[in-house]
Structure 1
């Protein structure tokens, strides 16, 4: 929406008469600049300035001339593209089956489909090694295959699709559920067959959602760090892992920063396309009472074929994540599978500080992230001030920035006075707050756009202040979005790895870093025990929150805003 100069001047004068609102806008703008833009600026700065303080492209030249780095970039784009295609395909198939057939066990299928979201992102990769690796349960024990190599593109793709297809499913489930069955009835009445109804009615109406989902999965996969670190292998380099190793292994900050910029550019491009072009191209249908067409969309044989495919996916998910539970109670996975509880004793002996640290960081960052997200959503939707769109863009930018890039940026930005935060609790909390805040913003914006502004205008007419309107009217109305943001922020704080691995210290460590460390050292049973403990903590938190909200918020609420 554009405003004339007179309108802008009027809004500015109104803003000056509301000092509390003005202070809030200035404070939030300052925080966004310091904790989102400054780290990104530092990455560009160190990669473009030499030791003499002069502009140079030598680092980028050396990176581009390195065949291994070029392969890493190509592989990253390839994996992200394939994940977007196959993850969206599986998610759409699942969503279509649930919305357009009368298969049994729909609720069960829906629950299992979103289960990977609450697991640490690389637990699936760990499980695939335990199942299909050289000493895997299926490959070695059941099939007798000893020369299996799960690392590289095939294994990584299975892990990526398994990890990210739930995001596609949740998004496309919402898209397909809003397409009125009466449109299919009309097409059937005009003599169309089932294929024509799908190809000419359902698919075109869901095309914007499919395109948006593919871009989201592209960004998610490009930014992923855990699965590639475990499954990519040395023969299949991935750029996010290369940037990490360049800094931690080679102690080359300039080279790591240059690789981060290389990784950042396609991710930003996909984010801009998704946010400002594709995501706005949505179709809406006016729905009345649902009709029997939902049962006519597919024939009986096709229905059972779809049911079989979805059943296979569900069973595979249960197998992959079920083996983590089994592994947690074995003495040494692959060597000695006797039942034991020693792994949990080890977890609390070795990992107690990381458990306490993870819970502390999550407990502090979660409410701050959710509240800040709601405040920014309120400002973006309900207020007019100079730079509003810029604030929205910057606040959502961290969603597009890969975790590796964020981690490197925080090291560079907060490693010297006046903001010397390296190794402290504060740097981890701030990282989580601003990294996962966009989910609260998106959720809040979506709900506020459905709330009639006249409710708040009536309060202003009664001389309520901005603070009173926000706390007593707006915030209660967007309570579902607020608690969705709480759930998402807590889950991500508990399972984060890509940015956090750069920021942990001996005093403030994370359970996910412990899991990764145990996996790299070959202690798979101990890694499973850590993973199981993490999953239990997350499930308890979600369960308590659901009880508190009387089931008003579900796990799907917070996940859907990632679309």
Structure 2
């Protein structure tokens, strides 16, 4: 028995070191190169702070960081202002079609933000449908949705669902007897919400708010499309690195370091707030939705209006994809399938195949490594597994554009020449979305008693056999459900793929972005519709496998 345990221990140690080496190669090594390039002069090879001095000494550069903070702070506040009452109303009031509304809200969250950006351009751009109507009715001349206000609008409608899902999950664990006790003591209406419910869900609200902040701060697609003169720091990083007149690698690396520092500080702030403000509650008497009468039914109007605004981008792109057009740029009267013929039936079109193949390959890697890493960090705790757990969290913190640039720094020459290949795209997708599967798998393993595995070992099974035959099958439903959600985020990835793609490795999101830049809204809408339908189908599959009727975090 001792030799079996020793052998099992050696297997798990070997696995830990192999996985640690993989993550060291694809996370630590590229990020160290970014750090190196930001401090080293390429010509003299000496240590320098010139790149950082350049950034902080010129308003044109450091104002992008200020702009990013302005956008993210406003978006975060508005997301909470919308997401909190939405979650509370949906839990407290019987809303007709609440199940469908929840699905629509989740779809709006899973859709890439830049799709919402170009959909709103078609509605509120300088020549948008709504812009023309407003201008003709009120005899004004709107400049469109571009700039700060447009960016905040798109981000808010795409981010509040995250707050909504988090708070919905928190309200499920809220014991309604506290509400009833407060009401019996004379605390009614809005006072009860402020004094009882708000303090209890405050940790969840902080956690979701910081996640929104980090997500918006790192996004580059939306401000790139509708920012115009209002630049954010992810846009600056992209333009400095990908400049057609010769990008400045060292300066782009310094910008990446600044963004990494900011996001790491935000991450630790999130951890601190979560650890400091946590409550454990069991809902012995959960909140129940009740029918409201009279003026209280105005809640229906608020919920329907917000849900409609959220899903407008998907409605617009689907509608636009069927409009008759001249070459995808100029829409003419009537409907046709020209946009789909130009995309689906194009001879050199491989973007849909690439998206699905890269996505499936990435999900396979994510599931296998995610399950192994979560098992090692929960069941086989030691120095190496703790180091692995820390290292695997970095892609969660680091923006996709920064990861893409670091990959090009690290794998652009032999013997690790991966740039321009499908491999680097698959690895980037896998690394980017791995933390989500690891966290969900860790939670599942925490619910499985170690005594189950011990019983299998006592009956003669090895540790590895106990893991594959007992633990993995018990984890499988939860892991598959998590894998489907990861799949939706993988196929919607833009930030890293826009840096790493070539003509042969284009994906749907890259094609949508490039078509929008060219003004080919018909083709962009057709691609977006395919992406949206894939996400909706995947979401339905998630509900089927998980047995849930909603997505809550």
Query: Is TM-score (shorter-chain normalized) higher than 0.5?
Result: yes
In the other structure, the counterpart of 2:480 is 483
Is residue 2:499 matched to residue 1:499?
Answer: no
Shift of 1:335: 4.5
Q: What do the CA deviations read for 1:222-260 (whole angstroms, capped 9, x no partner)?
A: 111111111111x21111011001011141111111111
Normalised by the size of structure 2, how large is the TM-score? 0.92
In structure 1, the partner of 2:259 is 263
Secondary structure, aligned partner of 2:80: helix
Cα pair 1:136 1:334 within 8 Å, conserved:
no
- Is contact 2:543–2:550 with CA below 8 Å preserved after alignment? no
C-alpha separation in 2, matches of 1:328 and 1:279: 47
Which residue in the other structure is 1:205 paired with? 200
Aligned pairs for 1:358-437 (under 5 A) are 358-437=355-434
8 Å contact kept, 2:122–2:129 = yes
Give the CA deviation at 1:542.
4.2
Does 2:129 match 1:137? yes
Instruction: Flag the 1:426–1:276 CA change in 2: closer, same or farther, 3 A.
Output: farther
Aligned partners of 2:127, 2:318: CA distance in 1, in Å?
18
Q: In structure 2, which of residues 237, 240, 247 is the aligned counterpart of residue 243 of structure 1? A: 237
Residue by residue over 1:331-388, the C-alpha shift from the partner in whole angstroms, topping out at 9 and shown as x without a partner, is 3477424211111111131662122211211121111112211211111122221133
Residue matched to 1:324 = 317
In structure 2, C-alpha distance between the alignment counterparts of 1:400 and 1:342, rounded to whole Å: 41
Match of 1:34 in 2: 25
Q: What pairs with 1:96-135 in structure 2 (closer than 5 Å)?
A: 96-135=88-127
CA RMSD between the two structures: 2.3
1:23 aligns with 2:14: yes
After superposition, residues 148-297 of structure 1 pair within 5 angstroms as: 148-233=143-228, 235-249=229-243, 250-278=246-274, 281-290=277-286, 295=290
Check the 8 A contact 1:212/1:279 in 2, yes or no: no
Contact residue 64 and residue 231 of structure 2 kept, 8 A: yes
Match of 1:496, SS? coil
- Distance in structure 2 (CA, Å) of the matches to 1:343 and 1:167: 32
Q: 5+ unaligned residues in a row in structure 1: which ranges?
A: 1-12
Q: Which of the residues 310, 314, 320 maps onto 2:307?
A: 314
Within the candidate set 72, 76, 101, 2:68 is matched to 76
Q: CA deviation at 1:451?
A: 2.4
Pick closer, same or farther for the CA change 1:544–1:107 going to 2, 3 Å.
Answer: closer
Give the direction of change, closer, same or farther, for the CA distance of 1:487–1:275 in structure 2 (3 Å limit): farther
CA 1:527/1:261 → structure 2, altered by over 3 Å: closer, same or farther? same
Deviation at 1:22, TM superposition (A): 0.9
Q: TM-score, normalised to structure 1's length? A: 0.91
SS in 2 for 1:478: helix
Kindly state the Cα deviation for residue 480 of structure 1 after the two structures are TM-superposed.
Answer: 3.4
* C-alpha contact (below 8 Å) 1:15/1:385 kept by paired residues: no
Deviation at 1:546, TM superposition (A): 5.3
Higher alpha-carbon deviation: 315-324 or 360-369: 315-324
Report how far residue 433 of structure 1 moved.
0.7
- The match for 2:297 is 304
- Count matched residues: 541
Q: CA deviation at 1:300?
A: 4.8
**Counterparts of 2:492 and 2:135 in 1: how far apart (Å)?**
33
The 8 Å contact of residues 135 and 334 in structure 1, kept in 2 or not, is answered as: no
Shift of 1:277: 4.3
Q: 1:135 to 1:374 in 2, by over 3 A?
A: same
Q: CA deviation at 1:307?
A: 2.3
Q: Mean Cα displacement is larger for which, 206-215 or 84-93?
A: 84-93
CA distance in 1, matches of 2:287, 2:167: 21
Contact conserved, 1:480 with 1:553, CA < 8 A, in 2? no
TM-fit CA distance, 1:419: 1.2
User: Aligned partners of 1:460, 1:217: CA distance in 2, in Å?
Assistant: 44
- Pick aligned residue for 2:343 from 343, 347, 351: 347
Question: Which residue of the partner structure matches residue 6 of structure 1?
Answer: none
Shift of 1:458: 2.0
1:46 aligned residue = 37
- In the TM superposition, what whole-angstrom CA distance separates every residue of 1:167-224 from its partner, at most 9, and x where no partner exists? 1111111011111111111212222222232111100000000011111111100111
Corresponding residue SS for 2:324: strand
Q: Distance in 2 between matches of 1:302 and 1:146?
A: 37
CA distance in 1, matches of 2:481, 2:220: 25
The alpha-carbon distance between structure 1 residues 384 and 171, as it changes in their structure 2 partners (threshold 3 A), is same
Cα shift at 1:418? 2.1
- Change beyond 3 A, Cα 1:254–1:346: same
Structure 2 CA distance for partners of 1:279 and 1:473, relative to 1, 3 Å: farther
Task: Give, in whole Å, the separation in 1 of the partners of 2:24 and 2:295.
Answer: 53
User: 1:129 and 1:341 mapped to 2: Cα distance?
Assistant: 22
